[in-house]
């Protein structure tokens, strides 16, 4: 049997016969099967190429607001690199100060100015984590920042961080607060902290923490960047 030049799928060798018998495959059904496989392969390839064309060169502007859990290992740039591999023309801006809470960013005129006039597509919000709380400060700050973000026609993304290495029990409290903050603001949520502990459990050979047992190692920052980018990518494709 001669296959179409478009057939790129391997078809197992089958004993062909023109009549349908037990253990044989009718030739007309084989031709139909091969045609279906050809079409499915071509359609899948065309869909992938179409998705690539849609994202290729698409501009994406991201603003990160937070503290050292944002700027450690230049994590925002890791997000940008991942997006570029997907065909996006991504630019990132970071406003991050060590040890800052989001409520401190709210008081900064430059933060409000950047949100309103920076023409960003997504604004990533990261709260102080060690120690974490009180929760009301997080809720109030996200509420105010969200007002400016919506005014600028951007989308807010809450970046859930992780508990210290020796304080795993704190993660549940942190996760609950981050989820509530995101829900109240109708914001995207990158559940880095929750997935962090699950990944550590399944991959104990990977050191996610820096030497201080609080910040991320480079591997940890890559993990956070993956989660944030996947959250943004899913939103972009909707």
Q: What is the dihedral of CA 70, 68, 156, 57, to 10 degrees?
A: -30
Integer CA distances (angstroms), 147 to 152, 153, 161, in order: 9, 10, 22
Under CATH, which architecture does the 56-236 domain have?
A: 3-Layer(aba) Sandwich (3.40)
For residue 45, the model assigns a pLDDT of: 53
pTM across the whole model = 0.76
Name the stretches of the chain with pLDDT < 70: 1-57
For residue 103, the model assigns a pLDDT of: 96
CA distance 209 to 129: 14
For residue 23, the model assigns a pLDDT of: 45
The one-character DSSP state at 209 is B
Q: Tell me the pLDDT tens digit for each residue of 130-162.
A: 888 888 999 999 999 999 999 999 999 999 999
Cis peptide before 134 (omega within 30 of 0): yes
Chain-centre distance of CA 146, in angstroms? 20
Chain-centre distance of CA 102, in angstroms? 22
Phi, psi of 59 (to 5 degrees): -75, 140
Burial class of residue 32, CB neighbours in 10 A (0-12, 13-18, 19+): exposed
CA distance 13 to 107: 71
- Give the three-state DSSP class for 61: strand
Residue spans of the domains in the chain: they are 1-55, 56-236
CA distance 137 to 195: 24
For residue 8, the model assigns a pLDDT of: 42
């Amino acid at each position: 049997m001669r296959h179409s030049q478009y057939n790129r799928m391997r078809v197992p060798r089958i004993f062909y016969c023109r009549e349908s018998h037990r253990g044989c495959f009718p030739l007309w059904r084989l031709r139909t099967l091969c045609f279906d496989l050809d079409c499915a392969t071509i359609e899948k390839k065309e869909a992938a190429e179409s998705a690539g064309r849609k994202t290729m060169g698409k501009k994406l502007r991201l603003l990160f607001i937070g503290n050292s859990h944002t700027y450690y290992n230049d994590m925002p740039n890791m997000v940008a690199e991942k997006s570029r591999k997907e065909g996006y023309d991504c630019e990132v801006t970071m406003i991050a100060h060590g040890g800052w809470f989001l409520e401190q960013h709210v008081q900064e005129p430059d933060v409000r100015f950047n949100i309103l006039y920076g023409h960003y597509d997504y604004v990533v919000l990261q709260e102080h984590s060690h120690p974490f709380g009180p929760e009301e400060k997080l809720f109030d700050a996200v509420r105010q920042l969200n007002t400016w973000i919506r005014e600028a026609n951007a989308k807010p993304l809450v970046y859930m961080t992780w508990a210290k290495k020796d304080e795993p029990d704190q993660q549940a409290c942190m996760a609950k607060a981050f989820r509530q903050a995101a829900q109240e603001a109708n914001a995207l949520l990158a559940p880095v902290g929750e997935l962090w502990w699950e990944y550590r459990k399944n991959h104990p050979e990977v050191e996610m923490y820096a030497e201080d047992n609080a910040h991320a190692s480079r591997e940890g920052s890559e993990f956070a960047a993956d989660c944030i980018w996947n959250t943004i990518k899913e939103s972009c494709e909707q």
